C-alpha cells in the first residue's frame, strides 16, 4: 500500500482533510525516495558527513520542514498511520544507515559494543530538533559536527581522547 492509498483508506476521498493528508503522504514518499543511497567511502567519518550533509539539505527545505511537522502531528493522532510510517519508512532508513555504521564497525572505527540504533538516533535527533521543532536553518557545519560527536562518543576505547 502506498502512502496515498493509506490516506484514502484512512480518511476517505471526500474527507475535508483529504488534501492536507494527501500532501503529507506525498511528502513522506518524496522524503523516502530522495533519502539517497548509503555512502561508500573508505572511512566512516566521510560516510557520516556525506549522510549528514544530505540530511541537512533535506531538513533545510521549507517544504520538508512543513511536511515533517504536519506528519509528526498526524502520526501522534493516528496509531495505524504511525505503525505504517515506522515499518515502511523509519525501519528501512535505519537499516540503510546501519549498513554504513556496520562497515565502520568492521573496519574498527567504532567500539565493538556500539549501539547502532542509538547512533542513528543521535545523528538525526539534533538536526530534527533544530530544523523542525525550532524552525531554524541548519548550517553546513551541522553535518560535520554531528558526525564528529558520534565518532568521538563511539570510537574504540583505545582511540578515545580523555579530558
39-159: which CATH topology?
Tetracycline Repressor; domain 2 (1.10.357)
> For residue 19, what pLDDT band results from cuts at 50, 70 and 90?
very low
What percent of the chain is modeled with pLDDT above 90?
43
- Maximum CA pair distance of the chain? 61
User: Which pTM was predicted?
Assistant: 0.73
Q: Average pLDDT, whole number, for the chain?
A: 79
Q: What is the dihedral of CA 87, 93, 95, 98, to 10 degrees?
A: -150
- Residue 116 and residue 99 in contact, taking contact as beta carbons nearer than 8 Å: no
Map residue 158 onto helix, strand or coil.
helix
| pLDDT tens track for 94-136 | 998 999 999 999 999 999 999 999 999 999 999 999 998 898 9
Radius of gyration of the CA atoms of the chain, in A: 18
Cα separation, 94 vs 91, whole angstroms: 5
Whole-number Å distance between alpha carbons of 87 and 80: 11
pLDDT band at 10 (very low <50, low <70, confident <90, very high): very low
Under 8 Å between Cβ of 26 and 4? yes
- Model confidence over 125-150: pLDDT tens digits? 999 999 988 989 999 999 999 999 99
8 A C-beta contact, residue 28 and residue 88: no
pLDDT in tens, 44-57: 999 999 999 989 99
What distance in Å separates the CA atoms of residue 139 and residue 145, rounded to the nearest whole number? 10
Contact status, residue 10 vs residue 81, Cβ threshold 8 Å: yes
Q: How far apart are CA 91 and CA 82, in angstroms?
A: 12
Nearest to 43 by CA among 97, 109, 133: 109
Amino acid at each position: 500500500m502506498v502512502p496515498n492509498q493509506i490516506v484514502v483508506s484512512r480518511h476517505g476521498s471526500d474527507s475535508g482533510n483529504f488534501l492536507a493528508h494527501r500532501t503529507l503522504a506525498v511528502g513522506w514518499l518524496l522524503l523516502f525516495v530522495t533519502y539517497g543511497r548509503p555512502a561508500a567511502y573508505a572511512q566512516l567519518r566521510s560516510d557520516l558527513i556525506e549522510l549528514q550533509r544530505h540530511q541537512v539539505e533535506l531538513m533545510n527545505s521549507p517544504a520538508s520542514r512543513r511536511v515533517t511537522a504536519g506528519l509528526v502531528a498526524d502520526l501522534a493522532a493516528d496509531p495505524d498511520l504511525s505503525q505504517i510510517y515506522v515499518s515502511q519508512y523509519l525501519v528501512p532508513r535505519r537499516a540503510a544507515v546501519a549498513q554504513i555504521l556496520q562497515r565502520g564497525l568492521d573496519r574498527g572505527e567504532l567500539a565493538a559494543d556500539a549501539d547502532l540504533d542509538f547512533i542513528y538516533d543521535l545523528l538525526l535527533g539534533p538536526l530534527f530538533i533544530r530544523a523542525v521543532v525550532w524552525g531554524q536553518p541548519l548550517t553546513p557545519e551541522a553535518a560535520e559536527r554531528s558526525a564528529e560527536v558520534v565518532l568521538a562518543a563511539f570510537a574504540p576505547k583505545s582511540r578515545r581522547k580523555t579530558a
